Amino acid sequence: MKLPVIKHLLDFIEQNDVDFVLETIETLEALTEVSSLKDEELDVIGELISNMYGAVEVNKSIKEGVAKKDALNGFMQRVLGSIDK
């Protein structure tokens, strides 16, 4: 996951709507079922999906009243914590 990408997606969500991102996630997930995709292509799609889910989670925290910076930091700490385990 890349924090700059998540921040950019958060800006997009703020300017538009989270539903656009959720629909894009669904579309990308459907693309992963194409049997002719190479592993590298699947990795890229997976990274995009991960960043989009991250932005959706951070947006949810912001909607619950957490400051944007704190929501981003908290999310990244959870991600890094799950990697270390």
Q: What is the DSSP letter of 67?
A: -
Confidence of residue 79 (pLDDT cuts 50, 70, 90): confident
End-to-end CA distance of the chain: 17
- Whole-prediction pTM: 0.89
5-58: pLDDT as tens digits: 999 999 999 999 999 999 999 999 999 999 999 999 999 999 999 999 999 999
Specify burial of residue 57 (Cβ count, 10 A radius: 0-12, 13-18, 19+).
Answer: middle
What is the sign of the dihedral through the CA atoms of 13, 18, 20 and 25? positive
